[in-house]
Each structure stands twice: as C-alpha cells, then as structure tokens.
Amino acid sequence: MLITAGPTYERIDPVRFIGNFSSGKMGFALAQAFEQMGATVTLVAGPVAQKTPEGNINRINVESAREMETQVKKCFPQTNILVMSAAVADFAPNEPQKDKIKKKDDFQTLSLKKTTDILSMAGKMKKPGQTLVGFALETANELENAREKLHEKKLDMIVLNSLNDPGAGFGTDTNKVTLITQNRMENWPLKTKVELAQDMAHFIVDKLILEPI
C-alpha cells in the first residue's frame, strides 16, 4: 500500500506558504485500516500533527508538492494499491523569497506556477495489476467533476466529498462520501473517518481487486 495524506505547503518565503486546511485524518485512518488488514503500508504525509498509527507503517514526511511527487514516483512502481488522499496544492510561488518579505517591501503581486498533477502522473505510470484511487473535494458540479477526473486520470475509483455537506471536508472527525468506479456509484452516509476508512479499505480490496467492477 502507498497512501498520501495531508496538505502540501508551497513556500512564499521562510515564514509564509500557500496551503490548505487538510488535517490528514482521512489518510492516516486509511493507513491504519489497511495495516490492520495485513498490508505493508508506506504513508507519505504532508505537514500535519497526526501521530503515525501503530503497526507496519513506514511514514515519509514531506512538505511540498515537489517532494510528494518525488516519493510517489519512487514508491509507486513497487506498490499494489495507491490511495491519493492528500490535498496537494495546485500552485506554488514562481520565485520563493530567501528572506522574509517585510511590510515595507514593494511586494504587490505573487507570481504562481502549476505544480505537477501527481494523480495524473500516477495514472500514466500505472501498470496492469496496480490499483489507483483518487479523492475529489468539490464545491460545485460535484459528480460531473469527479467523473471527469476518474476518466481523465485513469483511476480505478474516485472518492467524492463535498464541502457543502455538514460534517464533511477538512478538519472534521467525520466524512460523507460518494464512491465512483468505472461502472458503479455508491453514496455512503456520514461516518467517522475511522469507520469510513475501514469500510473503504474493504471495498477497495473486495470490489476493485478480488471482484473487479
């Protein structure tokens, strides 16, 4: 198993960054669930405060999208299942400043560049026998956007969650998701992320690997 979790931070200067509100709770719960099923887990974690679950889990800490890209590229070829639950920043500063930007400095605009689409990269790397699962956090046109992502990035499954659902999204202990495969869609009710991770791990193994749908 290879699981990515948490946000990435893209440095503006030594004290500021572009990031998001991801806590990493879902990814860490998935790491624990798969380990309890007997998997050897590599967990690539962005900057989060979560403790590594006990068991056969190798945690690799990263900060930026570039660092996460490097680890996924390195680990994915030896992996049976990759679950990309990390909320990777889409943009990074074009020229991070070496020194702290002061208020008095004449700094009015921030030039950005796109980061590598790690999920799309993994889809292009995927070989027969490997399973690739992505996550989509949407605020509008949720199903349409998720299905487009599923097909364009050559995923076996995408997990859709919406910030419009109470109790779902960043920082919460619960989540409400829709699982979408190439031929199937299941709406799951609000659950704790621990419960959701356990159910999702069994679904991935039972339905995507042992009984492809």
Percent of the chain with pLDDT over 70: 98
Counting Cα atoms < 13 Å in the Cβ hemisphere of 198 gives 5
Mean pLDDT, residues 111-117? 96
Spatial distance between the Cα atoms of 74 and 51, rounded to a whole number of angstroms: 24
> Which of 50-54, 104-108, 134-138, 160-164 bottoms out in mean pLDDT, i.e. has the lowest?
104-108
From 20, 61, 94, 145, active-site residue = 20
Known catalytic residue at 20: yes
Question: Which pLDDT score is estimated for 212?
Answer: 60
pLDDT-derived band at 130 (thresholds 50, 70, 90) equals very high
Report whether 198 contacts 174 (CB < 8 A): no
Please report which confidence band the pLDDT of residue 39 belongs to, taking 50, 70 and 90 as the band edges: very high
Q: Residue ranges per domain, the chain?
A: 2-93+111-210
pLDDT given at position 16: 95
Task: With cut-offs at 50, 70 and 90, classify the pLDDT of residue 26.
Answer: very high
Beta-strand ranges (E) seen in 50-181 are 57-61, 81-84, 91-93, 112-114, 131-138, 157-162, 174-175, 178-181
pLDDT of residue 103: 82
CATH of 2-93+111-210, one of 2.60.40.10, 3.40.50.2000, 3.30.70.980, 3.40.50.10300: 3.40.50.10300
Res 19 pLDDT > 80: yes
Q: What percent of the chain lies above the pLDDT cut of 90?
A: 81
End-to-end CA distance of the chain: 20
Q: Are 194 and 31 in contact (CB under 8 A)?
A: no
pLDDT digits (tens, 9 = 90+) for 68-100: 999 999 999 999 999 999 999 999 999 999 999
Of residues 8 and 103, which shows the higher confidence score? 8
Residue 213 pLDDT greater than 60, yes or no:
no
3-state secondary structure 151-198: HHCCCCEEEEEECCCCCCCCCCCEECCEEEECCCEEECCCEEHHHHHH
Mean pLDDT of the chain: 92
Q: How much is the pLDDT for 147?
A: 94
pLDDT at position 107 is 66
For the ranges 6-20, 105-119, 181-195, the lowest mean pLDDT is seen at 105-119
Give the closest residue to 3 by CA, choosing from 49, 18, 56, 20. 56
Q: How far apart are CA 136 and CA 195, in angstroms?
A: 19
